[in-house]
Amino acid sequence: MNVKTFDQVKDEVIGLRGTEKRDALERELESLRLGVQIRNARERQNITQAQLAERIDKKRTFISRIENDGANLTVKTLLDIVEKGLGGKLIISVNA
């Protein structure tokens, strides 16, 4: 049986890392991952989207959009969500 990793499948179907199509997919996946992390942190604290939105002076629909697609999220808003809204600490890592 020829078993392949997810990265190998992405290489074959979408293209290698560094290609425009593959890099766009990787960015989109990171945005989705970020939204899921925010949702999971909110749910662990047993707070609603409306409560989180109120803490950072945003609308509930904004929180829903972020949780379902973290794209177009500014660093300032991310800091507000994590630190003001969830009481956490944001740690950003850059891998170059």
- Residue ranges and CATH numbers for the domains of the chain are 6-85 (1.10.260.40)
The number of helix segments (H) and strand segments (E) in the chain equals: 5, 0
Of 67, 73, 77, 74, nearest in space to 43 by CA: 67
Across residues 47-69, what is the average pLDDT? Answer: 96
Give tens-digit pLDDT for 11-26: 888 888 889 988 888 8
pTM (two decimals): 0.79
Of 61, 51, 43, 34, the C-alpha closest to 85 is 51
And the tokens for 94? 């850059």
